[in-house]
């Protein structure tokens, strides 16, 4: 049905993603996740449920973890975004990535990027967490394979290594 549309039919979004300034012109009826995966070709963040329940699409926007599937693409304008692709530094995995690999914190891997960015952000605020604090921090990320124990262990181990001076 053709109707005269009001408001902006296209939007230009300027944002900094993983340290690089990006400019995208697109239609507004898309999510931040779609923009990041399709237009920026950063396919680490996954669409699991599309309703904000599973956390597979977690990205860090202005320093806070959010569900990319719930954020409208135009709302990324002027924001600073970190995705799982921006977590490693100089070809070296982030301690959270390293411990997830070493300790088997994943099986199928679909939820892993969400867990990694959530955990990386969490450890920036709390380098000495209890197991309970880790479990609360990752409550917005669902894993259907692991039962979480190894993910929790990996995050606790990453925290330990970072306290001992490894990391960024």
Partner 1 sequence: MRRFGYLAPKSVSEAVSVLAEHAAVAKVIAGGTDLVVQMKDGVRRPEVVIDITGIDELRLLEERDDGLHLGALVRMGEIETHPLIIEKYPILVDSAKLVGSKQVRNLATIAGNTCNASPGADTPPALIALDAQVHVLGPRGPRVVPIDRFFVGPGRTVLEPGELVTKFVLRKAAPNEGAYYERHTPRKELDIAVVGVGAWVRLNGETIEDARIGLAAVYPTPLRATEAEAALRGKPFGQAALDAAALAAVAQARPISDVRGSADFRRWLIDVLVRRAVTNAVARARGGGPRAGETH
Residues of this chain that interact with partner 1 (CB under 8 A) are 3, 5-9, 11, 27-31, 50-53, 55, 58, 61, 64-67, 69-72, 74-75, 77, 118, 136-137, 139-141
Q: In what order do the strands lie in the sheet with 11-17?
A: 20-26, 11-17, 80-82, 58-61, 64-67
92 vs 29, 59, 74, 96, 154, CA distance in Å?
Answer: 37, 20, 32, 11, 17
Q: Which is nearer to partner 1, 45 or 159 (CB)?
A: 45
Q: Which residues are registered as beta bridge partners of 58? A: 67
Q: Which is nearer to partner 1, 28 or 104 (CB)?
A: 28
Q: Which is nearer to partner 1, 42 or 98 (CB)?
A: 42
Q: Which is nearer to partner 1, 55 or 95 (CB)?
A: 55
Is residue 168 helix, strand or coil? coil
| C-alpha–C-alpha distance, residues 81 and 115, integer Å | 16
Please, what is the minimum distance in Å from the beta carbon of residue 40 to partner 1? 19
Please, what is the minimum distance in Å from the beta carbon of residue 64 to partner 1? 4
Q: Which is nearer to partner 1, 84 or 98 (CB)?
A: 84
Please, what is the minimum distance in Å from the beta carbon of residue 42 to partner 1? 18
Question: Hey, what are 161's tokens?
Answer: 């290594």
Please, what is the minimum distance in Å from the beta carbon of residue 33 to partner 1? 11
81 vs 37, 78, 102, 117, 147, CA distance in Å?
Answer: 13, 10, 27, 11, 29
Please, what is the minimum distance in Å from the beta carbon of residue 130 to partner 1? 15
| C-alpha–C-alpha distance, residues 59 and 65, integer Å | 6
């Amino acid at each position: 049905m053709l109707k005269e549309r009001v408001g902006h039919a296209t939007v230009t979004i300027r944002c900094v993603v993983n340290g690089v300034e990006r400019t995208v012109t697109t239609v507004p009826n898309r999510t931040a996740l779609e923009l990041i995966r399709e237009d920026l070709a950063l396919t680490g963040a996954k669409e699991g449920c599309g309703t904000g329940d599973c956390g597979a699409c977690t990205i860090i926007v202005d320093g806070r973890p959010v569900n990319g599937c719930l954020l409208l693409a135009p709302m990324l304008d002027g924001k600073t975004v970190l995705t799982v692709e921006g977590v490693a530094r100089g070809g070296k995995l982030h301690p959270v990535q390293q411990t997830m690999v070493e300790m088997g914190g994943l099986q199928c891997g679909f939820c892993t990027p969400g867990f990694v960015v959530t955990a990386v952000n969490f450890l920036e605020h709390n380098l000495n967490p209890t197991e309970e604090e880790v479990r609360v921090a990752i409550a917005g990320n669902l894993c259907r394979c692991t039962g979480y124990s190894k993910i929790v262990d990996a995050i606790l181990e990453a925290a330990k290594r970072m306290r001992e001076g490894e990391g960024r």
